[in-house]
Amino acid sequence: MKVEQGMKGLLIIDVQNDFCPGGILAAPEGDHVVPVINRLIDKFTIVVASKDWHPRTSVHFQHWPPHCVQNSQGAEFHPELRTEKIQQVFLKGTGDKDDGYSAFEATNLDMNEYLKSKGVTELYVTGLATDYCVKASAMDAAKKGFRTFVVTDAVSAVNVKPDDGQQALEEMQAAAITLVDSSQV
Ligand SMILES: [Zn+2]
């Protein structure tokens, strides 16, 4: 199989009902990322997404209210997300001892291998939430050798503390991750 080089991939992190307003663990403006991501989708050949996909009981729920339980309505993608354009969904946090903040920890399929087999060298990270799963996924992407971008108007923070999202963006920048606006993609 010939592997193409220089491909750009779009990674959509956890745009699920429980992380959007009305959900159990909402990023207060989580739904604002949906139209931005929907516009970005057409600029990419490779589009993948992750889902937080927890069992009913998990050590993860010692830190967080139970959310994104497998097959629940809260674990569904936001209803306006253009899911028909998503080529592969990666499920993470699937074990009872597993936080699964990073999409690279998905258990249904190895995301690193999948993206590399598609020739992806540049990864654009979007979704929820900036201060947890977006940060963990972008950091892992950079470690695994992808040229990594975070699209700042296509991510949104939980902000347990008011500047958590901003701090996460600064940490990512310090880790050689490039912050871009969706108009620059
Ligand atoms: Zn979770």
The string of pLDDT tens digits covering residues 61-118 is 998 999 999 999 999 999 999 999 999 999 999 999 989 999 999 999 999 999 999 9
Rounded to the nearest angstrom, the distance between the alpha carbon of 113 and the centre of ligand 1 is 23
Alpha helices for 52-132 (secondary structure H): 111-117
Confidence of residue 6 (pLDDT cuts 50, 70, 90): confident
pLDDT at 89: 98
Give the residue, 37 or 6, on which the prediction is more confident.
Answer: 37
Q: What spacing in Å lies between the alpha carbon of 93 and ligand 1's midpoint?
A: 6
Where residue 140 falls among pLDDT bands split at 50, 70, 90? very high
Residue 158 CA, ligand 1 centroid: distance in Å = 12
- Say whether the peptide bond before residue 157 is cis (omega within 30 degrees of 0): no
Mean pLDDT of the chain: 96
Task: Write down all domains in the chain, each with its CATH number in brackets.
Answer: 7-184 (3.40.50.850)
pLDDT in tens, 23-53: 999 999 999 999 999 999 999 999 999 999 9
State the catalytic residue, choosing from 92, 99, 131, 135. 92
Catalytic residue among 18, 31, 52, 133: 133
The alpha carbon of 60 and the centre of ligand 1 are apart by a number of angstroms equal to 7
Which residues fall within 8 angstroms of residue 82, CB to CB, at 6 or more apart? 37, 38, 41
Q: Is 20 a catalytic residue?
A: no
pLDDT at position 5, please? 59
pLDDT at 20: 98
Residue 92 falls in the annotated catalytic set = yes
pTM, full prediction: 0.96
Ion ligand 1 neighbours (CB, 5 A) are 52, 93
Ligand 1 centre to CA of 155 (Å) is 16
The helix (run of H) or strand (run of E) holding residue 139 is: helix 135-143
Contact 165, 131 (CB under 8 A): yes
Residue whose pair of structure tokens reads 């963006």 in the numeric block? 169
For residue 150, the cross-strand partners are: 125, 179
Please state whether beta strands 7-13 and 120-128 pair in parallel, antiparallel, or not at all (unpaired): parallel
Cα 67 to ligand 1 centre (Å)? 6
